[in-house]
Structure 1
Amino acid sequence: MTRLTDLPGEVTSLVAAIVEALDLPLPSVEDADEAKHYRVLEKRAEDVIVGLSMLLKFASEMPVAEATVYVRDWTKRHPITYTPFRSDQTEAEG
């Protein structure tokens, strides 16, 4: 198996952008936060799919770096809007 650091730099950057887009903190146990978490994850996953699909479809015209910029830019458009879960809080604290 190839280590991530053995990948070309632009591919490593794209993979990192994808991980950053999809690696969201868990939501608090509130139903509203769980729904918001799901929605952010869903929107970011859709954007990653679009970026990767464009890269595959237009590989000769679209550099990997452009797909990376697309994923990062669209990730910023869907910020975390929920309260993340905190394991250091007791049930009484919320």
Structure 2
Amino acid sequence: MTSAGCGVNGREMLPADVTDLLSAIVEALDIPMPSIEDADERKHYRLLERRATDVRIAWRSLLRHPSHPDLHYDAAYIRTCTAEQPVTYTAYEPDRAGGEG
């Protein structure tokens, strides 16, 4: 039996603000693979690079001010940056990647 507030196997759940920040990071970096076109591959690389920079900025801010963390603010910052940099390339589609049919 687990005590109140404990998760699976007796481990505590992550705090909501930590989960929010981690979710924002995954949303920013989990972008679709590009098509095999060179232009799409370049756009994919550039987008991933920009989004990783935004995540790094949020982490750096958090590490510089560890006594005043505001993880919800950092998550919102990452989400705002992500929304400003949408996927603009053609995503890879296995059915259209050269198969006959």
TM-score by length of 2: 0.81
Please, which runs of 5 or more residues in structure 2 have no aligned partner?
Answer: 1-6
Moved more, 50-59 or 34-43: 50-59
CA-atom RMSD in angstroms: 2.1
Q: Distance in 2 between matches of 1:61 and 1:8?
A: 16
Residue 17 of structure 1 corresponds to 24
Post-superposition CA distance 1:9-61 (Å, at most 9, x none): 11001001000100110000000000000000000000000011101112333
Larger Rg: 2
Residue 60 of structure 2 corresponds to 53
Letter in 2 for 1:41: L
Q: Structure 1 runs of 4+ off > 3 angstroms?
A: none
The reply on whether 1:89 has 2:81 as its aligned counterpart is no
Please, which runs of 5 or more residues in structure 1 have no aligned partner?
Answer: none
TM-score by length of 1: 0.87
